[in-house]
Structure 1
Amino acid sequence: MLRFFLLFLSIQLSLFGLNMLNWVQQHIVLPWTATLAKICSSLVVWFDETASAQGKVLWNTATGFGVSIEAGCNGIEACIVLFAAIIAFPSSWKHKLKGFVYGFIAIQALNVVRVISLFYLGQWNMSVFNFAHEFLWQGLIMLDVLIVWLLWVRAGAKEREANEPPPSDEPPAPPLVPSAPRMGHGEGSVSHSLDLSPHVRPRPSV
């Protein structure tokens, strides 16, 4: 457990360091954030034609209210935590790859719900918006990370059990009991022809 914890922390710090690099921000983080805003707007327009996306901002064309998807709100940090836990936990790389794919989908799906809900909460009540943005959704996203990781660990355990050979139904053989060595003829027996009674020397006559 200590090895997992230390490895998890070191991988997490390394991934967060990579995330802060300018090249990663320009070519991965910002394009994904803009894509996330477009995904949210494409879902919202099904029931609200006033929603639109411009860059990383989801905004209402009628009221002018908008939410900007910044760092910490695009789901990348949550994915980093999940990916670090998956890499640190002992399992096959095939199973790790499944965790990366399904975990990313699960986190980003919930994050889409998060962005859309905050978009409408901000238009309704800013106090509720601030509470949901700073506390409620932060906890829910990390809870999602924990649940996904636990489900991934459980799936890996079931996969290992399925690959193990079934136990044999035959009872185990009894242990061998060493037999006493046979003695040759006459060995270990007392000769009855020997006189073992003490001899008394005759007293000299006076």
Structure 2
Amino acid sequence: MKRFAALYFLYLALLFVFFYAPTSALSTLLNEGQTKLTLFLLGLFLEPGQLKGIDIWVNPHYKIIINQACNGMIPILFLFASILAYPSSVLHKLLWLLIGYIVFSVVNIMRLLFVSYATQTGNGQEEFYWSHDLVGNALLMLTGLGLFIAFIKNSKKRHYCSLK
């Protein structure tokens, strides 16, 4: 368990430095690509003209801005760190990294659509708070937990080698 925790935090730090923080052209490219993918998928479900650039206009006076923090990469990287730290085969990890990415991308789109709908049908800021900060974040946490449990249940445990 200590080894898992140590590896988890190491992988989490490395993933955030190399794939989220604006530390390289690669991380910037990945986040811009993920944000563009998120906006494209949102555009398929929003009303015509509701999505303008990175803004979802929920009414003429209130918009939701979709930026790097909304593209779903943060929960994806938390899940990736968990999968990478867990003792399992490389092929099994790669499969679940792909599954996790796809599931989180879909769930994030559903979350953003829910936040947009709740904010649009309500009076704005109050509905945004509970739909985004409470329900939306709980949905992402439960999705990550569910995916990691499914990964563990479908994994053949490999024991770490220890030096004595």
Bin for the TM-score computed over the shorter chain: 0.7 to 0.9
More helix by share: 2
- Give the aligned partner of residue 89 of structure 1: 86
Q: Deviations over 1:89-139 (max 9, x none)?
A: 011111011011100111111100011111122222221211221222112
Q: Deviations over 1:48-102 (max 9, x none)?
A: 3343342x32336x73643211233211010100110111001111101101110
- Give the aligned partner of residue 2 of structure 2: 2
Match runs of 1:110-149 below 5 Å: 110-125=107-122, 126=124, 127-149=126-148
Q: 1:24 to 1:2 in 2, by over 3 A?
A: same
d(CA) in 1 for partners of 2:135, 2:86: 28
SS at the partner of 2:51? strand
Instruction: Specify the code of the residue in structure 1 equivalent to 2:55.
Output: V
Q: Which structure is higher in RCO with an 8 Å CA cutoff and minimum separation 6?
A: 2
Measured after TM superposition, the shift of residue 43 of structure 1 is: 2.3
Structure 2 length as normaliser, TM-score? 0.83
- Give the aligned partner of residue 13 of structure 1: 13
Q: Is the 8 A contact 1:75 1:107 kept in 2?
A: yes
Greater Cα offset, 69-78 or 81-90: 69-78
d(CA) in 2 for partners of 1:72, 1:33: 9
Q: May I ask how many residue pairs the two structures share in their alignment?
A: 154
Instruction: Specify the code of the residue in structure 1 equivalent to 2:45.
Output: L
- Give the aligned partner of residue 27 of structure 1: 29
Q: Is the 8 A contact 1:83 1:100 kept in 2?
A: yes
Structure 1 length as normaliser, TM-score? 0.68
> Does the alignment pair 1:63 with 2:63?
no
Q: Is the 8 A contact 1:58 1:67 kept in 2?
A: yes
d(CA) in 2 for partners of 1:140, 1:81: 14
- Give the aligned partner of residue 153 of structure 2: 154
Q: Is the 8 A contact 2:115 2:136 kept in 1?
A: no
Instruction: Specify the code of the residue in structure 2 equivalent to 1:130.
Output: Y
d(CA) in 2 for partners of 1:120, 1:22: 35
Identity of aligned residues (%): 23
d(CA) in 1 for partners of 2:48, 2:115: 17
Measured after TM superposition, the shift of residue 33 of structure 1 is: 0.5
SS at the partner of 2:84? helix
RMSD over aligned Cα atoms: 2.1
SS at the partner of 1:66? strand
Gaps of 5+ in 1: 161-206
Q: 1:91 to 1:75 in 2, by over 3 A?
A: same
